[in-house]
Amino acid sequence: MKTILVLTFIFAQISLAHASQLNVTSLRQLDLKAGEIEANNRLRNSQHVERVLAALRLTPPPSTEGIPQTGELPDPGDVIQRAYTTASLIQKSIDQAATLPLGQRISFFEEAAARIIRKSAHQPTEQLIRITLNRSVDIANQVLPIAGNNPELIAQWLANFYLESFKLAAMWANNPCLLQSELGLASVSKYLTHVSLAEFGRVYSTLLWRATANMTSDSSKAVMLIKLLGYLGWDFNLDLRRRESGIAEVVADVYEMQNEDPNYQNIVMSLENGNEPSSTDLALLRRKIYTILQSLPGRLARAHIESGLIDAWHQ
């Protein structure tokens, strides 16, 4: 008897713990799927609101025609799911952000990026959108804690950086294309534009490069330059034409900088020790990265990679 009681108690505890994780409020819902749980929660919320409003009502209306009754309407879950396309979600995020104070836009853009990426899921023609937004959130989160002692300027600069990133994502959304890379060929369609990962990398690097000449701290600029180099190397190394001489040279240059360049190593060591990097190391690293960026158009041309779509993005 005691054993049965103990087991029942344990089972109840586990069920309740599991229930709280799923935002479930009754044990009966443990048998339901996630979508159904959400629908049930919506139902309970609307019932609650109805009860609150009913308590305020003087008299009921003459009939219920046109008055929403809980439980009569079909669950709008599938409508909500399909309401926005990725492109319209990006536009909605940009419009909504413009109504917020500058500082609040930063966290709003971060959440909006997560929603857009979830919505986009694994759609092959939206891969560039996901990469763009992922990288911008990555940069913002690494840079914000060390950006400097002028919070108002940092808020304006970061809100603007996010806006530019979302605009770039909007450009990809308005020009659906397939990414050509070693990551795996999507269903190849001759009716869609193909963009090479290297060309995408060049475009994203122009966005990031422009953001590194701002009025924030040297450590934040150093972090951005290091990440710019990392992204560029990843993009070129995974391009389908990675063995073409132009592309291979970029991979070699980035590898050399990351593994052998003294300025790069000094900066990483300074950051590791919690110190600001030296001005000299930062200036020299910037100069070397600038040289690589200037060489990209010529090297891409040698690898026969065209940049048709990219003219839409201001350089």
Partner 1 sequence: MKTPWVFALICAASSWGLIVQARELTHTNVPGVLNTGSVSYQGPQTTLMPGLYIVGDDDHKWHGQSYLLVDTYVNDPNKVLAVMLPKQVIDSSGGVGSGEIFLGRPIKNGTSVMLSPVTIDITGSLSVESEMETNARVIEVSRRSAPGNYRYPYLLQGHNGALGGQLLGMRASTTQQPRLAQWPSNNVFSGSGGMGHLVVDGTSVGVYSGHLAESHYQLLPLNGDFGKFAELVPTQLDTMSEAMISASQIAGLAIFISGCFDTERMLIASPQAQPGEFQMDMYSPDGRTFSDYLAPGSLQPMVNQGGKK
Interface positions with partner 1 (CB under 8 A)? 98-102, 105, 148-153, 155-157, 159-161, 163-164, 210-218, 221, 276, 279, 286-287, 290, 314
Between CA 303 and CA 305 the distance in angstroms is 6
Task: Give 160 or 295: the residue with its C-beta nearer to partner 1.
Answer: 160
Q: How far is the CB of 90 from partner 1 (least distance, A)?
A: 17
Q: How far is the CB of 147 from partner 1 (least distance, A)?
A: 9
Task: Give 9 or 290: the residue with its C-beta nearer to partner 1.
Answer: 290
Q: How far is the CB of 146 from partner 1 (least distance, A)?
A: 10
Task: Give 163 or 310: the residue with its C-beta nearer to partner 1.
Answer: 163
Task: Give 22 or 144: the residue with its C-beta nearer to partner 1.
Answer: 144
Q: How far is the CB of 162 from partner 1 (least distance, A)?
A: 8
Q: How far is the CB of 91 from partner 1 (least distance, A)?
A: 17
**3-class secondary structure for the chain?**
CHHHHHHHHHHHHHHHHHHHHCCCCCHHHHHCCHHHHHHHHHHHHHHHHHHHHHHHCCCCCCCCCCCCCCCCCCCCHHHHHHHCCHHHHHHHHHHHHCCCCHHHHHHHHHHHHHHHHHHHCCCHHHHHHHHHHHHHHHHHHHHHHHCCCCHHHHHHHHHHHHHHHHHHHHHHHHCCEEEECCCCCCCCCCCCEEEEHHHHHHHHHHHHHHHCCCCCCHHHHHHHHHHHHHHHHHHHHCCCCCCCHHHHHHHHHHHHHHHHCHHHHHHHHHHHCCCCCCHHHHHHHHHHHHHHHHHHHHHHHHCCCCCCHHHHCCC
Task: Give 150 or 245: the residue with its C-beta nearer to partner 1.
Answer: 150
Q: How far is the CB of 313 from partner 1 (least distance, A)?
A: 11
Residue 287 contacts residue 293 (beta carbons within 8 Å)? no
Task: Give 137 or 197: the residue with its C-beta nearer to partner 1.
Answer: 137
Task: Give 80 or 215: the residue with its C-beta nearer to partner 1.
Answer: 215
Q: How far is the CB of 152 from partner 1 (least distance, A)?
A: 4
Between CA 151 and CA 155 the distance in angstroms is 6
Task: Give 221 or 242: the residue with its C-beta nearer to partner 1.
Answer: 221
Of 42, 48, 47, 46, the closest CA to residue 76 belongs to 42
Q: How far is the CB of 157 from partner 1 (least distance, A)?
A: 5
